[in-house]
Amino acid sequence: MSRLSTTQAVGWIAACVLLCLSCSDIIKVGEGWSDVTELEGGTHDVELSPLNNGKSIAVDQSGRVHMTYRMRRKQGDDWSGWEVAYKRLSPVEGGFDPDHQSVVVNESVTHGQPCIATSGTDMVLVAWYQDVGGVAYIFTTASNDGGLTWPGPIVSWTPTSGGSRPAAAFDSQGRLHLVWRTRECTKYLRSNEALNGCEIEKLIHSTYLVTTRQPSIAVDDSDCVHVGWSYAGFTSGYGVDYARSTDCGDSWTSTGIAGTGDDPPVTIVADHHGRIYEFWSGVRYRRSLDRGITWDGEMSLATGSMAAAAIGPNDHIHVVYVKDGAIWYIASDNYGTSWTMPWRVTDADANSAEAPDVAVGADGFIHVVWQQYDADNKVHQLCYRVGQ
């Protein structure tokens, strides 16, 4: 692990841009769901890249919503470099106010696939991968004031064989747990509490002739760490796997191959009482009622892809996924034993949505974000909807 110099950090961090929007921009929510809100894009001067399945939305303990995404802007006849962007929504009477946005990493670097995690009420962390001299490295930066400023430092976690598609989570002590993929490996590290040093780095999984895809990470109420990932075998096809650590990342146990899928992104979530759920495309899932020691068999929830999940304050499970170009939502209030009928999140005329993500606050509000392409106007959009 190495920290960037002050000169490099200044060159890589753009000045935060504060947008204080009027009350008319408040996203109103009543007893059901808000209208669909376009948060970014919608013009020919903005292009978005697909959201990272490693979590692009998170809610802190105060109920503020934090998002990260990758975008670039048109400058004259040319496009700028890609930026890692950040947006915040704060709870207000009657809804949520999109009260702040920033550029976390500016256009001077090549980077991608940002993810986000929160700790407490003020800590927000963004992780991404970045090409440096032809090798991809994992980087993080953090805000200590709820996303208002991003002073850095940008920290380079230098995996020896490169890395991409990071996913991040915090434990109860405020330590960062970070997982990423290389071509044939799933790797993990735990930071110190200052987020500027590595306490431990581990190789969780490595298999010859298997290409690792998107990993996902969750920390349960006992600070056990759970990691799921997808893979593509050259002879065995697509599938998902799982590993757990009961000593906060010091050692790992893998359960072996968990299930089958179609090039599946994986989402793993932990509720407040040691129940673990792993979701992947299909829409398939499995659950463990004993912190990952034993697992129920693979189950199918719906026909779709790009499944993402979150746990509510009452241990209800919330899942979003893509089917026929629309975003759909299902939920369970009995630990995954039964599920609601699918409900369409996107508007009826939206048929090119992708990469949904979901987060649930302690207040019970359900926040869904996704990207879609408006074919009529030929523009990209970052869309959002909140319900309860």
Q: What is the pLDDT of residues 262-312, one digit of tens each?
A: 556 789 999 999 999 999 887 889 999 999 999 988 888 888 888 999 999
Give the rounded percent of residues in the chain with a pLDDT score beyond 70: 82
Alpha-carbon separation of residue 36 from 29, 33, 180, 350, 369 (angstroms): 11, 9, 32, 11, 10
Q: Cα separation of 106 and 126, whole Å?
A: 14
Q: In angstroms, rounded to a whole number, what is the distance separating the alpha carbons of residues 314 and 361?
A: 11
Angstrom distances, CA of residue 356 to CA of 53, 176, 345: 8, 24, 10
Q: Indicate the average pLDDT of the chain.
A: 81
pLDDT confidence bin for 208, thresholds 50/70/90: low
The average pLDDT across 36-59 equals 80
**Where along the chain do its domains lie?**
1-31+54-158
Residues in the chain: 388
- CB-based contact 86:376 (threshold 8 Å): no
Which two three-digit tokens encode residue 172?
């109860």
- Calculate the alpha carbon distances from 100 to 84, 120, 222, 336 in Å: 15, 19, 33, 36
Mean of pLDDT values over 45-73: 84
**CB count in 10 Å sphere of residue 172:** 12
For residue 11, the surrounding DSSP H or E stretch is helix 6-12
The amino acid that residue 345 corresponds to is V
Can you name the residues that pair with 329 across neighbouring β-strands?
Answer: 320, 343
Q: Is the dihedral of CA 128, 131, 136, 140 positive or negative?
A: negative
pLDDT of residue 132: 76
Alpha-carbon distances, residue 135 vs 27, 94, 198, 282 (angstroms): 41, 47, 20, 33
Q: Is the pLDDT of residue 197 over 60?
A: yes
The predicted pLDDT at position 137 comes to 82
Query: Is the distance from CB of 239 to CB of 205 less than 8 angstroms?
Result: no
| pLDDT tens track for 118-171 | 998 899 999 988 877 777 788 888 999 999 998 766 777 765 566 778 899 999
Question: Which of 43-52, 216-225, 375-384 has the largest mean confidence?
Answer: 216-225
**What is the model's pLDDT at position 236?**
59
Q: Are 64 and 116 in contact (CB under 8 A)?
A: no
Predicted confidence at residue 338, as pLDDT, reads 93
SS3 362: coil
Distances (CA, A) of 95 to 21, 212, 367: 14, 40, 12
- Per-residue pLDDT, 134: 76
Q: Which residues, including other chains, have CB under 8 Å from residue 355's CB and lie 6 or more apart? A: 50, 51, 53, 56, 306, 322, 370, 371
Rounded to whole angstroms, the Cα distance separating 221 from 146 reads 23
Give pLDDT tens digits for 10-46: 333 333 333 333 334 788 776 789 999 988 887 778 8
Q: Model pTM greater than 0.75? A: yes
pLDDT score recorded for residue 147: 94
Residue 224: pLDDT band (50, 70, 90) is: very high
pLDDT for 65 = 96
pLDDT value of residue 2: 40
Average pLDDT for 197-220: 75
77: pLDDT confidence band, cut at 50, 70 and 90?
Answer: confident
